[in-house]
Structure 1
Amino acid sequence: MGNFKVGTWLSGGVLLAAAALLFVTNPDQSTYETYAVKRLSTYAKEELCHDLPGTIEQFLSESCESLIDENQQSVQDVIRQSTVTLNFGLFSLYRTRLAVPGVDVLPTYEVETLGIFNRFYTYRAEQQ
């Protein structure tokens, strides 16, 4: 019977330590914004800048990547305004809907990301 109590206490202690670790390493909104800006900027430079529709391509082809680099704060503001955060204490879910209001030629994206252990895992990214 004594071994059962020790095992129970030990298991409880391990679970409590794991929960504390998850709680302490749950990334916050500003950390997510930094992550999202970096990911979005990389995606935009590698994909969007090279696949712009007709007239926009003619207008932005030379300056697309530099425009992205020069507007990081604006990108972060858009991400902040278009993200819903569900903080569960041990981890967080971030849902971001990226769209440029009034510009129908650019696609809208919905992105869902898990924040856990000071890392982010984007598990869904869909073009609408």
Structure 2
Amino acid sequence: MKRMKTAISVGGLAVVGLGIGLAVTNPKSSAYQSFAAKKFASHLQENVCDDVPKFLRQQCRGFADANRGQFQKVIADTTQRQNYFFFSIYETDISMSLGLPSYHFSTVGILNQFYIYEAEKKS
């Protein structure tokens, strides 16, 4: 009987410790905005800039790199965060002008990391 109580106590402490660890490492919105701006700029450089005329590719890549701060602001304005205490889900809908496509991203933030589980290009 005493062994069972000890096992239950240890198991309970482990679950509480795991919960506290997850709560403490639930990333903040500002960390997501920085992550998403970097990913979006990289996506533009690797995908969109390759589709522009060759003489504009370098300017396109420079634009994407130089405007990460602006992308971060756009992401902040277009993201909905669902905070579940242990983790967060971020839904971002980016619609840029200048004939660029719009995008939808769904990302989970947990353990100070972000994982994009849905990325959709909209016309």
| Residue 110 in structure 1 maps to residue 86 in structure 2 | no
1:20-51 Cα shifts (integer Å, max 9, x gaps): 00001000000001110111111110100111
Counting matched residue pairs gives: 122
How far apart are 1:90 and its partner, in Å?
A: 0.4
| 2-structure distance, mates of 1:122, 1:94 | 9
Match for residue 124 of structure 1 among 94, 118, 123: 118
| 2-structure distance, mates of 1:16, 1:51 | 51
Which secondary structure state, in structure 1, belongs to the residue aligned with residue 26 of structure 2?
coil
Match for residue 96 of structure 1 among 92, 115, 120: 92
The 4+ residue runs of structure 1 with deviation greater than 6 A are none
Match for residue 61 of structure 2 among 38, 61, 65: 65
Aligned twin of 1:23: 23
1:34-92 Cα shifts (integer Å, max 9, x gaps): 1101111111101001113xxxx488434101111221211111000010001111000
| 1-structure distance, mates of 2:74, 2:51 | 22
The TM-score with structure 2 as length reference comes to: 0.92
Aligned twin of 2:12: 12
Which ranges in structure 1 are unaligned for 5 or more consecutive residues?
none
Aligned twin of 2:32: 32
Which secondary structure state, in structure 1, belongs to the residue aligned with residue 85 of structure 2?
coil
Q: Percent identity?
A: 34
The TM-score with structure 1 as length reference comes to: 0.88
When the two chains are superposed, the root-mean-square deviation of aligned CA atoms in Å is 1.6
Which ranges in structure 2 are unaligned for 5 or more consecutive residues?
none
